[in-house]
A and B are shown apart, each in its own frame.
Chain A
Amino acid sequence: MATDHEIHLRDRLTRLRSLNLLSGTKLSGELEKLQRQLDRIQTAPTDEEIWRSVELARHQDRPYTLDYVERLLDDWVELHGDRGRADDAALVIGLGRFNGRTVALIGNQKGRDIKERTHRNFGMAYPEGYRKAMRLMEVADRHAFPLISLVDIPGAYPGVAAEQHGQGGAIARAQALMARLEVPTVACVIGEGGSGGAIATALTDRVLMQENAIYTVISPEGCAAILWRDASEAKKAAAAFKPDAVHCLELGVIDGIVPEPEGGAHTDPDAAAQLLGESLQETLEELESVPAEDLKRRRRAKFRSLGVFA
């Protein structure tokens, strides 16, 4: 009986894997782009290049969510508060027009100067931030607005109040809500995709990553502190757990890589925004042709197929 079950599941997994591959092809569109992605995979980044991604993803001039909002959305209206107890400035939400359609947007926001960084808690959301995001997800679902999520969080905030306000539960429920949405959803990691704080807003139909973004289960420093018992071994840790876009694509964790201008997104925010906009548009167009009920089913099937085991 267990074997029947296993065969059934393996069969389903195989079918899903081939499905993923197909949609990946469609996503990349032109042959040239596809070829470029393939080339990237074939030349796996070196340890040095991985560390360069870590540095670029955290670069102080790297464009943040609101820099992209300003360049990509018309009629942007930022919304505030979780309707419970606070307005978490580390996570912005709002509505705007993206290429002619209304979209709901969620994004982590870091600060530029000390004052803003403190105000935005260095981009580290409290549980209130995830609840604020959930409130907008409900609006999107109710009005059939596609959801765009820009991920750029060092990690969930490790503080006393964050725990008392239910950090773990909030991250779990934000994901659960995203698994229930019946609108097209796309996430793009635009800087640091840090652990639970990142996945809380990244359970989406398509997950993209900018070329120099990183997506990690724990910060390189945190990993080094635990496994090497020395936070200064962060470089070694990063090389070992491979948080760069190419490896994430290879592992099936993301669906596509968004190119950045030469030298990184901070060298030319306008060009970076244009490239991001093109990828988001392509992805949404593809998702908008899928029936709502199928979106949800496929989204769950995709995430349920992630993992490597024997």
Chain B
Amino acid sequence: MSSRIDVSIEHRNVPEPPGKQHPNTCPECNSHYRDDELEAALWVCPHCGHHFPMRARARIASLADEGSFVEEAAELRSEDPLHFFDLRPYTDRIAEAEMQTGLGEAMVIGQAAIDGNACEVAVMDFSFMGGSMGSVVGEKFSRACDSAAERGVPLVSVTASGGARMQEGILSLMQLPKTVCAAEDLHDSGQPLISVMTHPTTAGVLASFASLGDVIVAEPGALLAFTGPRVVQQTTREKLPDDFGLAEQNLRFGHIDAIVPRPELKPYVSRLLRLFSRNGD
């Protein structure tokens, strides 16, 4: 027990490793902000423009007109079909994520209006188990597609995900075809899917509905890769370009339509919604 005191002394002048940085410290320019400062700036560093991660509720508040959001399928919860146990039981991990985030799952869906344009939104939250896609995320996206098709409105998805949720095994892989089929049903109903990819949108989510947007936009600096840089480096020993997998590289190679900084996202999406609406109003 007494060793704890020694540790603090030893570490007095050692800079904190980058992974341990305070969440309100900008990893790009090291500026530090209070919560309310960041909130007012939509979690974009006022000094260098770095985009901090944004929680699902805050994202919805920043996109949807005030008071327009009506959440759907909030009651859905994960089950543990495989009784999965790695270092801890899956059920513990879910319970902990729920406590920490105040969310039922890694995706929030519901009806909303953006600058008066009625739409459906499906927003992911990376804080909930790395935004991983299990059965509930797949089901929520699927219901968001149905809700949009039934009401004849577009679907705006905002993704932030590390990929499929391994703890649900093969069923998590099945959420790829599930969300793809849902997106195809939405397309058949004549409604567009606007896909906003934020940091990070990787693996299973990138390889399914997120890539099927009629229009795909990304936030600056977002990692959008099927396989992340660390795994590519370890597996192939290839030298990675500086902007490997980032939104900027994806734009250059033609995988996305635009990079839109967060403060400009709402007007950008609402312009798209007006363009896709049949009567042009």
Contact = CB atoms under 8 A, between A and B. Distances in A.
Report, as a range, how many residues of chain B touch the other chain: 35 or more
B86 A166 contact: no
B29 interface: no
A168 interface: yes
A198 B173 CA distance: 10
A158 to B, nearest CB: 4
Interface in B145-189: 146-147, 164, 166-178, 180-185
A90 B277 CA distance: 43
A23 interface: no
Interface stretch (B10-18, B34-42, B49-57, B239-247): B239-247
B151 to A, nearest CB: 11
Contact of B139 (A166, A167, A215, A307): A307
Contacts of A176: 180, 183-184, 212
Contacts of A171: 176, 207-208, 211, 226
B113 to A, nearest CB: 17
Contacts of A300: 181, 184-185
A158 B244 CA distance: 12
B180 A175 contact: yes
Contacts of B211: 168-169, 171-173
B85 A240 contact: yes
A241 B169 contact: yes
Interface in A207-254: 215-218, 223, 226-228, 237, 240-243, 247-248, 251, 253
For B177, B183, B204, B245, the residue with the greatest tally of chain A CB atoms inside 10 Å of its CB is B177
B98 interface: no
B3 interface: no
Interface string B208-245: 11111000000000001111000110011010110011
A175 B178 CA distance: 10
B224 to A, nearest CB: 7
B134 to A, nearest CB: 8
A307 B181 CA distance: 14
B7 interface: no
A298 B32 CA distance: 54
Interface string B241-275: 10011000100011100000000000000000000
Q: Is the interface of A mostly helix, strand, loop or mixed?
A: helix
Interface string A45-84: 0000000000000000000000000000000000000000
A86 interface: no
A45 B9 CA distance: 54
B232 A160 contact: yes
Contact of A307 (B135, B167, B236): B135
Contacts of A169: 206-207, 211, 255
A158 B77 contact: no
A114 interface: no
Contact of A227 (B81, B86, B170, B226): B86
A5 interface: yes
B245 A163 contact: yes
B166 A223 contact: yes
Interface of B: 72-73, 76-79, 81-82, 84-87, 134-136, 138-139, 142-143, 146-147, 164, 166-178, 180-185, 202-204, 206-212, 224-227, 231-232, 235-236, 238, 240-241, 244-245, 249, 253-255
Interface of A: 2, 5-6, 9, 156, 158-160, 162-169, 171-173, 175-176, 179-180, 195-196, 198-200, 202-203, 215-218, 223, 226-228, 237, 240-243, 247-248, 251, 253, 299-300, 303-304, 306-310
Given A160-B238, A169-B255, A196-B176, 17 more contacts: A2-B73, A5-B143, A159-B232, A159-B235, A163-B227, A169-B211, A172-B210, A173-B211, A217-B164, A218-B164, A218-B166, A306-B171, A307-B136, A308-B79, A308-B168, A309-B76, A309-B77
23 contacts: A2-B72, A156-B207, A156-B227, A163-B227, A163-B232, A172-B211, A175-B177, A179-B181, A195-B173, A196-B207, A227-B87, A227-B167, A241-B82, A241-B166, A247-B169, A300-B181, A306-B135, A306-B138, A306-B177, A307-B134, A307-B138, A308-B81, A309-B135
